[in-house]
Amino acid sequence: MTATATAVRTTPLEPVELPDSFIATLPPTNKDSLPELADHWKQLDLREIFARPAAFISIGQSNSVYRPGGVQYGEGHAFRGNLEATVRSVTAARAAGNFDITWVGYSLFRSQYPQSDFDRVQYSSWTDEIGATPEQIAWDNTLVDELQELKQPGDKELFESALQSAFVGTDLPGTLARKKIEVLVFAGVHVDWCIEGNVRAARDNGLLPIVIGDASGAQQPEQEAATFDRINRFFAPVISADTFVDLVTR
């Protein structure tokens, strides 16, 4: 690939579709990986909790994940059902009337991020060999079209500046406090990294996080069950999009 060809391409990687043989190995949904609600969460009235001041937070659902040429497209999330489940969940949250919507991005291209020595070597290992242009990086970071279509004036959009948390280096905690938001509903990628990290941070900040499991995904499908189990046992209820839609339907 010549430098000229790379410069005119809009995507960081060649926009090559995934082979059918690989797509055939991907589960169309991870609902079978979701655990039964932990006994302690069963003591809660989730319908009442979802009626409190709340925010729906989508994390990392960008072109990078869902479009050919995106740096994370090879993980196959475009064929694993989490985007469709997110669309249904955001639509239900919006209709409920008590949810703020927050779109949290993260970039794999982090040369401009504040960095410790650990950050520097880790971040450079992700993307230094790609040699992407600023325009290609901007495309990779852009919220995917299916969710762009759901954005409305008043929605909040921000990028993580820490390794796996939107609670560090952003105004998210202050925004939640000023709006007296108590309940956070998470969806997105990756469930074993940014989702879990933000759920733990939410608990540390005295908030009530809930994860929509089939609207989320790990890098590899086989990593999801253990992550859902850990989150569900210790940090937050893990539920399906169908359950969420039922609970917030007034």
Rounded CA separation 249/138 (Å): 36
Rounded CA separation 188/86 (Å): 8
CB count, 10 Å around CB of 183?
20
Q: What are phi and psi of 112, to 5 degrees?
A: -95, 0
Say yes or no to pLDDT of 6 above 80: no
pLDDT digits (tens, 9 = 90+) for 19-35: 999 999 999 999 999 99
Average pLDDT estimate for 58-68: 98
* Cα end-to-end span (Å), the chain: 55
The tokens for 85 are 């489940």
pLDDT confidence bin for 250, thresholds 50/70/90: confident
Encode burial over 23-32: b for 16+ CB neighbours within 10 A, e otherwise. Answer: eeebbebbee
pLDDT digits (tens, 9 = 90+) for 185-206: 999 999 999 999 999 999 999 9
Average pLDDT, the chain: 96
Omega prior to 40 cis, within 30 of 0: no
SS3 69: coil
pTM of the model: 0.95
- pLDDT given for residue 4 in this prediction: 47
- pLDDT given for residue 7 in this prediction: 59
Report residue 99 CA to chain centroid gap: 17
Rounded CA separation 209/238 (Å): 9
